[in-house]
Structures are given as C-alpha cells and as structure tokens.
C-alpha cells in the first residue's frame, strides 16, 4: 500500500470533521507573516467535535493547524483542522499537543556501523558525554546497564537493534529544538530535542513513563535468523557502452556467467539475481549512438545464467564516438532505479563500470538534468548501494581527476560512511574482472550463509566492523570490495530484518538525542528532512527559477542583479510586506525565500549570498552558482511529479497540504 494511503487509512476511522469554512485561515505563528500555527498530538489526546461534547482519541503525532484558541478555567482549547484551507476537525486540549513550528523531521540511519542511538531525558545528560575526555567510557557503562536491564534514569529509550523501514513502519521524529555544540573531541554536533511516537496502538502504551525493558524488547533480540531464508539480492550493472568499452563489456558478461554457474549449482537461483543497464550519451547530438540508456536485463525477469547471456547478447560497444568525453552516466543510474522494482530484494546493489566522467545536470546534453547530490538521494531512497569501478585508461587520462571527484561523491554510502569508489589502474581488463568476481562472490556467499541460517549478523561484531574499516587501506581493490560488501551485507540484513519484524521507533514522547555517534562522532545517527507542502515546493521552484533567471541576466550587468531581485521581491508573494529591507544587499533580507526556509537550522548558499560577494565573483563562478540553482530546480520538478512519496499527515487534509520529504542538502 502506498505510504500516503496507509497513513490515511490508519487515521481516518478515528477522526470527525465538521463543515468546511473556505474563508477561514489558521492563526499565524508569532512574528511570522506566512507561517501558520501547527501542533502535534501526544498519546491519549481527545478530539472533541464541539466544546463540551464527548471526544474520540486521535493517533499520536497527528498534525493539526490551529484556527482558534479559547481559555476555559485552567485549560486552553484549540480549534484545529487537518490543513490550512478551512477544514475544521474540532477541539483539542492544548495540554495534549506540542507546537511544531518547522516541519523538520529525522530518519534514523542504519545502525550497522555505529553505536546504538540513546534517547536521553535531558540535554545535560547527553552533553556530559559529548564534553567528556572519555565519552566511550561513559557511554559503554550506560549500555551495560541497559543490556542487563538495570535502572538507567538518564536514558528514556534506545533504538531497535534492526533498522527501521520508514516506508513500512512510518514514524515521525519531529525536531522541536536544535542547538549546535563543539565536542571535546573537536566535532560539530547538533543536540536535538525530539518527539517520537511510532504508529503502534496507543492503548498498548501504559503511560509516557516506559521502562527500558519494554523499549528494548522492541529491538528484536530474539532469534530471527530463520527470516533470512527469504533474503535475496539484486546486482544490477550500469555499464558504459561507448566505443571504448567492448573488452570490459565482454569481461563483465563472463563474470556474471561464471557466478551464475555457482548459483545454479548451489540452488540459489531464487536468491541472487543480476540485471544490466547500458548507457551512452545524447542521441540528438550523435544519432549513431542509438540510445541514451537501455535496460537489457531486469533482475525480476531473468531465469538463469543462460537467460541473462541471451538478453545481453546484442549489447555491443557503440560504433561511433560521443560528442563529449563525459557520458550520460546518470541516465543509466536513474533508469536502473526507476524502471526496476527493487522491493522483492533485501540487498540492492548497482555497479557502475565506466572509463569516463558523467554529464552534469546543467549540461545541455544531459537527459536527467540532475547532479550527483540528487542522484545519490534517489539511490539512498531505494535502499541501494552504488559501486563505481572507474577504469583509468590512458585514453581518458585528461578526464581522470574530475571523474574521480564526481564518482567518489556519487558512490558515498551512508551505511558505511565511506565511498564505494574503486579506481582500476591503467584500465586493466584483468583487474576489472577480478573486482567484479570479488563483488559477486562476496554477495553470493552472504546469501548462501543467510539461506543456511549463518548470517553475517552472527559473524560480525561492531569491533569487526571497526577493524575492517581501519585495515581496509592496506588491501588491494579486490579485497577492499570484498570487505566493504561484507559490511554492507550486515547493514542490509539489519534493514531487511527490521522490515520483516516490523521494527518500530521507540514509543517515547519527548527526549534529547545527538545527530552524531556519541563515540565515533564523525558518524551520523540521523538524516534531516524538511517536509514541504505542495504549495511550498511550488513556491520554492518559482522563486529559484526567478533568482536563476535574474542571476543569468546579472552576468551581463552584475551591478543590476540585486536591484532586479529587490524589484521581484516587492511584487511577488502573498505577504505585502515581503520585502523586508528596500535597500537589501543580501538575499536573506529580501524575503524572497519563504519563512519555511529561513528558520531552518542549516547554512543556505542562496540566503547567505550578498551583493558584494556576487560582484566579486568572476563570470565562471557566477555561472556555477546559476547551474547549481537550475539543477536543484530540476530536482524539485521531479519531486512534484513523484506521486508515491507525497504524504498526508492528517486525514481529510487538502492535497495542497500533503508533504514531501526533502533532504536538507537539496535545499537552495
């Protein structure tokens, strides 16, 4: 079931709605011109159709807009609705709500390669550890108590052992407050005040005072290895098939044929599947290329090794050269992500093989109009891992440095906190073959062990992971690929078990967490996302387009750019006072970007741009700024068309108040 539909079904039978008052608008937040007051409900909150009437319990973390506030005795009552377009649901006691000023939420990262995330009762408790010379000593002592089910009053909860599948077990982790500190070990860490209630039945939660034992039992510490018998893997090659690639195409076919022989012999055909997407470049520029990208083998529709080879029999390197050194690599990745159903597979791998860089999103020949950041976000969304085997041939020598920078960024894997980029020196066909063999063999070994009940989870401890990470620099490329693949298998099995066992967020209400591992403070524990409504995303796209167009004109007349932007700010938007300062020399002073962006805890390239900086840039730097804006604009347009990821946070909500989770890094 689609996520938005599931949330609607989950809430719908509990809520009542009164007639629509189209002209009525919610109350504004204090000091804001466009942001409305919003609240989230806590467990046990009762929604009353009318004041003084009998109410019904609403799910925790239902988001409501506040239309009126009335005081009766010691109680303040809120008239609320599911959206900002006049739909009224009823009345809530303000004591069972919490203000949600910014629609900012967190997703927990996969716990495979970091310490467990703990939810603390106070900010001081967590800062004591972060500011300690020996954070590991303090943290380990807490974990030991939790493992022995001993009293730990400072800790309200810990995350489940298995990764949480937010698509199957949707949860909100709203940020109520955030402060940045520098730790004793020299890291910049955000200490976050969050609220957390998963979608479980609230009548099973006796109160907000939940024991560590009850919370820990959600982690799935029981033996779930039998579930891994159905664990399967898809390995999809995304291969450059331009004129120079024929030897590498043939060696990849040979590697797949070889591993299929083993898979068939060990009766694993239903558990390890291979796919292949080939890509080239723009066919309008060079018609002889025949295609930009093409799906040759869908892993869902391949029977065996013979079938795979038959499907790729016609794949040959192009007979003509592309118009550029760089190829449309992102087209191949996006076709693999968009045209393949990844849901049947617990382990999801893409393996790019190329000797050239990728066309950037601002290149006229790019078919996706996306850049590294946006493509990587799509890889992460599918729960996949992307390897890049970069053939450093002598023919593409001038392109090596820029391509490596691109692909190291594209292949960064948040589960391992490292890039899955592997250079193949001199473009050796033999070395490429050995690398592909190593990858396929390692993944197949994992699937075989899982099928036999001998999962990588049983054989890998956190110490093993850290040891492998430290020693990996001394290994060959083939050994590095094998080591990284083993660790990825661990993370993907945690995610798979979390999905199968219904692993949920801890059922607590309000707590403090760190956005970084308390011991290894370079490792993120959360991913920050902004929930933008359809209207906000549309407004953001319009504004970014206007800024990009004005900046493009400013290349000719740099002195006129900010004057033009001030004129635009004075004429657009719903707020008649949107232009905060008539003589503003900084974009943040103009009010061009909505208040939903201005108050977010992140550094905005656009908001921080001032007139002096723009004039100091040369034409190349100004062009780069415009290109970055256009690439993000392309991403917003893609988001707007992606109907599967729009979420309704309240039943009966107007579709214009559905939200889309945008990673912070994709904001302007």
What residues form DSSP beta bridges with 575? none
Residues making up the chain, counted from first to last: 668
The pLDDT confidence band at residue 321, using thresholds 50, 70 and 90, is very high
Instruction: Output the pLDDT for position 214.
Output: 31
Let me know if 269 is exposed, middle or buried by CB neighbors in 10 A (0-12, 13-18, 19+): middle
Instruction: Output the pLDDT for position 242.
Output: 93
Q: 540 or 165: which carries more pLDDT confidence?
A: 540
Average pLDDT over residues 129-149: 87
Instruction: Output the pLDDT for position 70.
Output: 92
CA distance 544 to 540: 6
Instruction: Output the pLDDT for position 528.
Output: 80
pLDDT of 345 strictly over 70: yes
Q: 462 or 322: which carries more pLDDT confidence?
A: 322
Quick one: what percent of the chain has pLDDT higher than 70?
A: 81
pLDDT of 292 strictly over 90: yes
Write out pLDDT tens, residues 390-443.
999 887 677 889 999 999 999 998 777 789 999 998 889 999 999 988 888 888
The pLDDT confidence band at residue 388, using thresholds 50, 70 and 90, is very high
What residues form DSSP beta bridges with 327? 358
CA distance 411 to 480: 14
Instruction: Output the pLDDT for position 610.
Output: 80
Average pLDDT over residues 252-277: 89
Averaged pLDDT of the chain? 80
Write out pLDDT tens, residues 85-118.
889 999 999 988 888 888 888 878 887 778 888 8
The pLDDT confidence band at residue 503, using thresholds 50, 70 and 90, is low
Give the three-class secondary structure for 373: helix
pLDDT of 447 strictly over 50: yes
Write out pLDDT tens, residues 546-589.
888 888 877 767 677 777 877 777 665 444 444 445 566 667 77
Q: What is the pTM of this model?
A: 0.64
Instruction: Output the pLDDT for position 149.
Output: 81
Closest CA to 311 of 375, 270, 260: 260
598-607, long-range: CB < 8 A, 24+ apart: 599/101, 599/102, 600/102, 600/104, 600/530, 600/664, 600/667, 601/104, 601/175, 601/178, 601/180, 601/190, 602/528, 602/664, 602/667, 604/667, 604/668, 605/668, 606/544, 606/547, 606/668, 607/668
């Amino acid at each position: 079931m689609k996520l938005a539909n599931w949330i609607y079904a989950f809430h719908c039978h509990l809520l009542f709605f009164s007639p629509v008052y189209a002209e009525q608008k919610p109350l504004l937040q204090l000091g804001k011109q466009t942001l409305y007051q919003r609240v989230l409900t806590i467990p046990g909150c009762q929604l009353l159709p009318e004041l003084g009437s009998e109410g019904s319990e609403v799910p925790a973390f239902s988001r409501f807009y506040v239309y009126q506030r009335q005081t009766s005795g010691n109680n303040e009552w809120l008239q609320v609705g599911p959206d900002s377009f006049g739909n009224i649901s009823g009345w809530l006691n303000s004591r069972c709500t919490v203000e949600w000023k910014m629609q900012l939420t967190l997703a927990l990262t996969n716990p495979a390669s970091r310490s467990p995330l703990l939810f603390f009762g106070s900010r001081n408790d967590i800062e004591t550890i972060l500011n300690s010379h020996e954070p590991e000593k303090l943290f380990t002592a807490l974990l030991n108590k939790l493992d022995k089910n001993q009293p730990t009053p400072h800790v309200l909860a810990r995350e489940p052992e298995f990764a949480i599948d937010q698509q199957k077990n949707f949860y909100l982790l709203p940020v109520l407050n955030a402060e940045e500190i520098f730790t004793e070990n020299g890291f910049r860490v955000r200490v976050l005040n969050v609220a957390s209630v998963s979608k479980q039945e609230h009548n099973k939660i006796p109160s907000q005072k939940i024991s560590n034992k009850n919370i820990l039992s959600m982690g799935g510490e029981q033996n779930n290895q039998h579930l891994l018998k159905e664990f399967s893997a898809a390995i999809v090659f995304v291969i450059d098939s331009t004129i120079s690639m024929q030897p590498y195409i043939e060696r990849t076919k040979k590697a797949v044929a070889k591993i299929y022989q083993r898979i068939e012999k060990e009766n694993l055909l239903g558990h390890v599947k291979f796919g292949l997407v080939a890509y080239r470049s723009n066919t309008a520029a060079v018609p002889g290329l025949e295609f930009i990208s093409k799906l040759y083998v869908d892993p869902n529709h391949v029977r065996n090794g013979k079938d795979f080879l038959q499907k790729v029999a016609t794949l040959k390197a192009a007979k003509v050269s592309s118009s550029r050194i760089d190829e449309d690599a992102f087209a191949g990745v996006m076709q693999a992500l968009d045209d393949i159903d990844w849901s049947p597979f617990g382990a999801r791998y893409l393996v790019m093989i190329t000797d050239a860089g990728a066309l950037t999103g601002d290149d006229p020949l790019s078919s996706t109009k996306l850049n590294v950041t946006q493509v990587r976000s799509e890889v992460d969304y599918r729960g996949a891992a992307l390897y890049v085997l970069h053939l450093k041939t002598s023919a593409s020598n001038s392109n090596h440095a820029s391509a490596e920078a691109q692909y190291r960024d594209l292949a960064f894997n948040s589960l391992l906190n490292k890039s899955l980029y592997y250079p193949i020196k001199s473009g050796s066909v033999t070395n490429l073959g050995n690398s592909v063999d190593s990858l396929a063999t390692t993944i197949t070994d994992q699937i075989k062990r899982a099928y036999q009940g001998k999962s990588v989870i049983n054989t890998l401890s956190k110490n093993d992971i850290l040891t492998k990470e430290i020693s990996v620099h001394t290994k060959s490329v083939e050994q590095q690929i094998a080591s990284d693949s083993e660790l990825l298998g661990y993370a993907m099995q945690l995610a798979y078990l979390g999905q199968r066992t219904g692993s949920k967020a801890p059922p607590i209400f309000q707590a403090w967490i760190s956005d970084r591992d308390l011991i290894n403070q370079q490792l993120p524990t959360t991913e920050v996302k902004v929930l933008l409504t359809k209207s906000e995303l549309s407004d953001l796209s319009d504004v970014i387009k206007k800024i990009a167009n004005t900046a493009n004109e400013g290349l000719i007349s740099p002195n006129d750019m900010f004057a033009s932007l001030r004129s635009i700010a004075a004429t657009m938007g719903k707020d008649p006072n949107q232009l905060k300062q008539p003589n503003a020399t900084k974009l943040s002073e103009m009010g061009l970007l909505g208040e939903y962006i201005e108050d977010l805890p992140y550094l905005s390239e656009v908001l921080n741009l001032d007139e002096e900086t723009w004039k100091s840039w040369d034409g190349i730097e100004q062009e780069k700024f415009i290109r970055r804006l256009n690439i993000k604009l392309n991403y917003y347009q893609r988001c707007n068309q992606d109907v599967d990821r729009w979420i309704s946070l309240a039943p009966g909500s107007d579709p214009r108040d559905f939200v889309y989770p945008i990673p912070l890094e994709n904001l302007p």
